[in-house]
Structure formats: structure tokens, C-alpha cells
Structure 1
């Protein structure tokens, strides 16, 4: 009998990625005739933690996945728990986003537009953490998933730092700089980060002011990538899902609309001036 009180909840091996993770942990543990406490001791966790993982009551983290791989001798194989964790993590992200980020990491040019929130590549880590903390409070993700999302963003940003960095053009709706995230101090540092971004030789920053009204062509996040072969892909995101589009017949109108947006938006000098004006209210 296991020393940890075991919840023998029957899991569906064909269920959610998190359920499949738990089913596999239980199957491999029982095949070795280990109790939850014995597996936990090998990993440096508690038996209750293992029970929660097996019953899908707690989402696995990357450190847990790696510890499981060590305990079960799966390191270096093609079927690690770390790989399975990545499937869960990507599943928690907006559909289509991981594929987009992979292409963004090698793109020659990146064009960003967003409403309400500063685009990910321009976010400070504390701004990103505040955004995810809001998601935790609303119950849409767990605290662990929030930490993992911020870590994912940091890795995404790091991939853009390379010997020949991409040309990055960002057009932000005015709401991005006026929507206070994380409190005044966090927002002040985020606005300062935008100024730093504008000062880089490979960047261009523009604010689309509220007075643009109906001339603003987009009402949601739009990203356009020019790849090394000069092909262009578009990523358009809503609240629940994203869509990566490679078809020139649909990408070309988005690129044309983006150029129109950039033309109607404030110049970089005007945009920096507006950001500094907003900063006076956060300091």
C-alpha cells in the first residue's frame, strides 16, 4: 500500500495532453513497482506532488519533466517527458503561435501591430509577468503556466539577438501605451523600453493615435514576417487562436494595409514624444 494517500481517479489515456502525461507517469511508475513516495524521493519532490501530476490535478512543469526523465532513464531518447511537456506547453499557447515564433527567430524583417498590449518582443519581463498574473487571477492559467509563458517569451526575445538582427517595425495602437499594466513603476520601465527600442539602428517605432479612427485597418494583433528567401508570412491572432498564413493572395492585402497603417501613424520622432508625454504621468 502506498504511503501517500492515492487518488485512484481513472484517467483517459486518450484525453487531454495533461491527462496523457499523468497516465504515462503512473504506468511507468507501476511497471517498476515504485510507490509515489519512492518516485518522488528519486526526483526531489513530494509524493503528493506526484499524485497530483498522475491525476492531472497539477500541470507538470519543465523541471518535473526533466526529473522524470532522469528517474525513468529516458534522457537522450526520442520519447522523453520533456518532449511531452513541450506539447502541453505549446498546447496552452494560442494555436499557431509556436510555429510562428519558430519562423520569427530566423526572419529578415518583422512587422508588428497590436492593440491594448505591447507586443511580446518589446515587453519587459516584469510587464509580461504582470500580464500573465492577470490571467492567473482570472483562472485561465495556473501560476506555474504563467511562469513558463514568461520564460517562453524571454527565449523568444533572445532568439532575435543575433549577429545580423532582423529589421523590426512596430506600430502600436495608442491604447498600448495608455493601458497601465502592473502599476505605474512597471509601466514606466515598459515605456522606457519602448524608447530604447526606437533608438536601435534596426528598428522603427510608430504610435497609431486614437484620432486615426476608421483609418486604422486592424482591430487585432497582426504580425508579418519577411523570411530570408523574401517570402512573406502573416500571423493574425484573436483572443483564442492564431492563424499562420503563407498564401500570397491573403498575405499581400495585409502587407498593403500595414504600409497604409504605417503611413497614417505618427512618425518615430512624434511617437517617442507621445510616449515621453505619457511617461510623465507614470513617474
Structure 2
């Protein structure tokens, strides 16, 4: 314990990460050298992260989860890393993504922009760069946000794949994010998504008007044990909910949304016409 530095987890998010790493290590009776063999990084790097002299990378956080047996759990080092580096993410969203990676069925609704799981990297980059210009996040955070998106999408490519039902407000496909080339590639991505065997895509047209039950992002998950979960957002807050009494009404509203929305064939035709400049 020579030259052991006292840690203050309340000093910063990075300090909280380092203190948790040391606490997890010591609870197993491991030295820094022991942990480095489990994580594949140098003991000096582990020491640097614990004492905040070095900032943990996403790869480091994932390696820590493997070492401590946290992969697939809710409270992972990866989740803490995302919360630390993506402070603009709303409360509950990193936790939601953890559940989404294991969900059997995913139902989503979005208005205004294409939802993250369906975004191209270029489309996502435009949104992230816009947040930088507004002063909401830094350039580094913008890159991390896009990396987070790619990671999120990669969890959906698995065997068997989840069933994904997407209903997008018409504004999503008409809002010209990033200019013609980026928007055309994004619309092409939606058509590609609709053609997959485990997906469904519908557009909720403007004509649904007041019959549209949602006005903001809504995610509904069916987990492998058939339990249900919802994630909804306001402008400033996200809410993850597993209460059946509050999630079931959202599921009912989603089914009504699907009934009122255009069919997949009609939706794809609408997107293709938009790409050709007919509408």
C-alpha cells in the first residue's frame, strides 16, 4: 500500500469511475497487476485510471466489465463510461440501451428526426455536429455520441435477431437533415431496413393529426421473459419504466398507432417518391 493515493469519488465523474474500479478490484483481493492480466492492459494504465491521471476509454470500460463479470448486467462500467462521456444523454437512456441489446421485440416511434437505431453514420454526425455548434457538447463528445450510436446498432445484429417495429412520423422523412445527399442515403437506409425479414416500417402521415397518440420518442421493449418495458422522453428528461400498469397503455396506444399509419408498402412508396422529388 506504499504511496496509495486516497480517492474522492465525488470529485468528478472520472474520479467516480476510478474509485469504483479500485473498489471492485480490491473486493476480489486483486492487485493492479492481477487486474491487468484480466483486462489486457498495463498495471500503470489501471493505476492512472484509478487516480484520474488517465481517462478510461470505451474499450477499457468493456474490458473491465469482462474482468468483473458485469457483461449483460444493468450497472456496467460501459454504462458509467457512456454517462460520463455523453452527459447530454437523458436520464435512463444508457440503461435502456442495455436492455435493448437483449430485447426480443423492439417497438419505436419518433417525430422530427430518424431514430438512432435507424440513422446512417453521416446523418448522426450532422446531428452531433449541430449540438457542438449550439454549445451543448464538445467535439470529443460529438465523436463519442456517434460511436455510441454505432455500438447501439451493432447490438441489434445477433442470432436470432430481435423483431423491430418502427413507426415514424412523416416529419422524420421530410425534415432535410444534412442536405440532399445525406438525406437521400438516410432514406435509402429506411428502405433497406423495411426489406429485412425481422422488421416492420410504417409512416404515420400528417393526416393522422390528433389521432396520433404520441408526439415524442417512445420505445417499447419485450424482453426474452416476455416482460415489458418503456422508455419515453420529454424535452429535458428520459424515463425508463417497467411498471405493467403504466407500460400496457403505451402498448395499446402503439397498436392503435400502427392501425392508423400507412402500411409498409405505402410507406416505402412514399419514401421512394420523396427520393425522386415527386412529393
TM-score normalized by the length of structure 2: 0.74
Question: Are residues 1:109 and 2:71 paired?
Answer: no
Offset of residue 114 of structure 1: 0.2
Query: For the structure 1 residues 116 and 84, does the alpha-carbon distance in structure 2 shift closer, same or farther, using more than 3 Å as the test?
Result: closer
Question: Are residues 1:98 and 2:85 paired?
Answer: no
Offset of residue 77 of structure 1: 8.7
| 1:160 equivalent in structure 2 | 156
| 1:89 equivalent in structure 2 | 85
TM-score normalized by the length of structure 1: 0.73
Question: Are residues 1:129 and 2:125 paired?
Answer: yes
Q: Which has the larger radius of gyration?
A: 1
| 1:176 equivalent in structure 2 | 172
Query: For the structure 1 residues 276 and 61, does the alpha-carbon distance in structure 2 shift closer, same or farther, using more than 3 Å as the test?
Result: farther
Unaligned stretches of 5+ residues in structure 2? 1-7, 20-43, 46-51, 61-66, 70-76
| 2:272 equivalent in structure 1 | 276
| 2:35 equivalent in structure 1 | none
Question: Are residues 1:194 and 2:224 paired?
Answer: no
Aligned residues of 2:93 and 2:238 also touching (Cα < 8 A): yes
Q: 2:248, 2:150 → 1: CA distance?
A: 30
Offset of residue 94 of structure 1: 1.4
Q: 1:277, 1:83 → 2: CA distance?
A: 40
SS for the counterpart of 1:207 is strand
The within-5 A match list for 1:1-283 is 14-17=10-13, 62=57, 85-89=81-85, 91-281=87-277
Query: For the structure 1 residues 22 and 253, does the alpha-carbon distance in structure 2 shift closer, same or farther, using more than 3 Å as the test?
Result: closer
Aligned residues of 2:167 and 2:203 also touching (Cα < 8 A): yes
| 2:29 equivalent in structure 1 | none
Aligned residues of 1:136 and 1:142 also touching (Cα < 8 A): yes
Aligned residues: 231
SS for the counterpart of 1:107 is coil
Query: For the structure 1 residues 85 and 197, does the alpha-carbon distance in structure 2 shift closer, same or farther, using more than 3 Å as the test?
Result: closer
Q: 1:160, 1:236 → 2: CA distance?
A: 20
| 1:3 equivalent in structure 2 | none
Aligned residues of 2:79 and 2:95 also touching (Cα < 8 A): no
C-alpha distance after superposition, 1:119-155 (max 9, x if no partner): 1111111111111111011000001001001101101
Q: Displaced runs of 4+ in structure 1, greater than 4 A?
A: 18-23, 81-87
Offset of residue 163 of structure 1: 1.4
Q: Please identify, of 250-259 and 13-22, the stretch whose mean Cα deviation from structure 2 is larger.
A: 13-22
SS for the counterpart of 1:192 is helix
Aligned residues of 1:225 and 1:233 also touching (Cα < 8 A): yes
Query: For the structure 1 residues 197 and 85, does the alpha-carbon distance in structure 2 shift closer, same or farther, using more than 3 Å as the test?
Result: closer
C-alpha distance after superposition, 1:189-246 (max 9, x if no partner): 0000000000001111000000110000001100000110111100001232211111
Aligned residues of 1:90 and 1:98 also touching (Cα < 8 A): no
Offset of residue 255 of structure 1: 0.2
